[in-house]
Structure 1
């Protein structure tokens, strides 16, 4: 009898502990990781405890508007950057004037700067994401076209990619399409052998269409996207530059690429089949960005990502909420509505990725 009483008491105790634990798990509070100690403070940054990051929302999938907020590769990278610096995050749309935003103190850093562009008097980091005009095929064994191979290409009309094809292979080789989506549909149907497109936006478009493609060659030497900081702000150049380099080396940015693009962007070992340069393409076609269509975090594969705890403070034209710009680590994904889910896009903005 005494043994039975002891078992009953022990069971009651375990039940009480279980109920207490369950109550704790189902509380109304939401877990938010504790921020790291801030590595920088004013006057190195303009606002105490917050990193203000400028992006261009006319340049998806690096950054754009989706579901009423700023989302994209650069937003995810900004969240990781802020978290590593121990800061909250404010994402600000600086449009096509990053230099002006840095000069007037609207933002602390800007992302999505083409490292081949000479305009803008500010410090540039090393590239964190490569790009360039690429040739896509349905198979990695499709081969590299030559000028006399009779190869056929699809590219969005009036884009730098279309100009590169015409310049390198002749106008008769080109099938111009109204959108990059249509170009990949032509590739899938077998009416062309290759699609010419910006490497990043092409991967984003194909991934959004559920199409498995390979980059087999480049039509220009790869360039890349980098971070900009005011020339005078040497302390932030060092602090933010070191963190960005670490995000590249430790694979964090690869995770973000896979979220948006379905793969990482590796262009360094590809054959360049033309002597076209980025500046020559810009001079020949102009640099007007083209709309990538409906841009939403739901287009991206959310992958495995975790909340960095960065927050958006609503400064300027910023995205709302830290959880909408801040998941970058490993862990459970918080949902496709969260623009900061790290894992898979950025573009040079020269193709229309979708209708």
Structure 2
């Protein structure tokens, strides 16, 4: 299934989870507030949890062409949440802009494409507690694996997805990064094709997505450090705090009983630190229970508490 999802990633039209374009929350119609199964208030349709995704952002969400069903890490999380709340899961797919616009208009209960709850987005939406963490990394051709990545981009032709947080990082740090030129692409498929063809030397990419692509495509690799570690969360319409709190309780239970750890291993082949909350600074401290083990040990040098290994900041990736 992982190879199948990579194929979907190559033809995806947009890197949905990181586009900052959202509909103003002030224009949104309120979601239905009728009482529902499991005591969850504010559901759009009674007895159902409607979770919208783009279906084109593997390994978080993708369409299985054989079954036509939506699959992925965030889909499995949504399925477990719905089961714990006694609700039927419904998973429509739309493009990224319509995902958040539809959520703001009350068409869906949750938007779930691996969304970074930036300060800007928190002005327009509510967010759940984090469900994983990721970062930004340089995706390169396999021949350039082991290169410096963001540490030294002198003379490189760089690229990224238009409107994404990864693009914002490149443009805001152009002088420090030192790349020769930057090209924005409409979607992941176009960007990866440009990389393979040599039209760009490196892409600014979500760490988990880049690692997933590299594991499943021998032409791709990651290089250099991961930067800007950040949480990924589920998004809700403003004013739906009670619904958000019910989902948070389910997510907390998934961390406590090891379910989240199992899903991370299924999709990423490893366990990844989960921030305690959306505005937490690094290093992250919460780790799913079970085989993942604790995220922190003793206090460490440099005034940074809880490092796994003294004197080092270890940032995990799938690469």
Q: TM-score, normalised by structure 2?
A: 0.53
Once the two structures are TM-superposed, the CA of residue 199 in structure 1 deviates from its matched residue by 0.5
Q: How many residues align?
A: 225
Distance change (3 Å), C-alpha of 1:99 and 1:154: closer
**C-alpha separation in 2, matches of 1:226 and 1:247:** 14
Secondary structure in 1 matching 2:130: coil
Distance change (3 Å), C-alpha of 1:203 and 1:248: farther
Once the two structures are TM-superposed, the CA of residue 115 in structure 1 deviates from its matched residue by 0.6
2:254 maps to 1:247: yes
2:167 maps to 1:169: no
Once the two structures are TM-superposed, the CA of residue 215 in structure 1 deviates from its matched residue by 7.0
1:113-192 maps to which residues of 2 (within 5 A)? 113-116=115-118, 118-119=120-121, 121-135=124-138, 146-147=151-152, 160=167, 163=171, 167-172=175-180, 179-180=191-192, 183=195
Secondary structure in 2 matching 1:132: strand
Output one character per residue of 1:38-97: Cα deviation in whole Å (capped at 9) or x when no partner. 972475323333211122234444223331332222211111111121222111225324
Please, which runs of 5 or more residues in structure 1 have no aligned partner? 1-37, 187-191, 269-344, 346-355
Once the two structures are TM-superposed, the CA of residue 265 in structure 1 deviates from its matched residue by 4.1
Q: Which residue is equivalent to 2:69?
A: 69
**C-alpha separation in 1, matches of 2:170 and 2:130:** 25
Secondary structure in 1 matching 2:79: helix
Q: Which residue is equivalent to 2:84?
A: 84
Output one character per residue of 1:265-294: Cα deviation in whole Å (capped at 9) or x when no partner. 4598xxxxxxxxxxxxxxxxxxxxxxxxxx
Q: Which residue is equivalent to 1:279?
A: none
**C-alpha separation in 1, matches of 2:177 and 2:221:** 21
Secondary structure in 1 matching 2:44: coil
Distance change (3 Å), C-alpha of 1:232 and 1:170: closer
Q: Which residue is equivalent to 2:214?
A: 206
Q: Which residue is equivalent to 1:107?
A: 108
Secondary structure in 1 matching 2:42: coil
Please, which runs of 5 or more residues in structure 2 have no aligned partner? 1-35, 276-316
**What is the root-mean-square deviation of aligned Cα atoms in Å?**
4.4
Q: Which residue is equivalent to 1:319?
A: none
Q: Which residue is equivalent to 1:51?
A: 49
Give the structure, 1 or 2, with the largest relative contact order (CA under 8 Å, sep 6 or more). 1
**C-alpha separation in 2, matches of 1:39 and 1:157:** 40
**C-alpha separation in 2, matches of 1:212 and 1:180:** 9
**C-alpha separation in 1, matches of 2:271 and 2:220:** 13
Q: Which residue is equivalent to 1:22?
A: none
Q: Which residue is equivalent to 2:284?
A: none
Q: TM-score, normalised by structure 1?
A: 0.48
**C-alpha separation in 2, matches of 1:140 and 1:260:** 22
Q: Which residue is equivalent to 2:300?
A: none
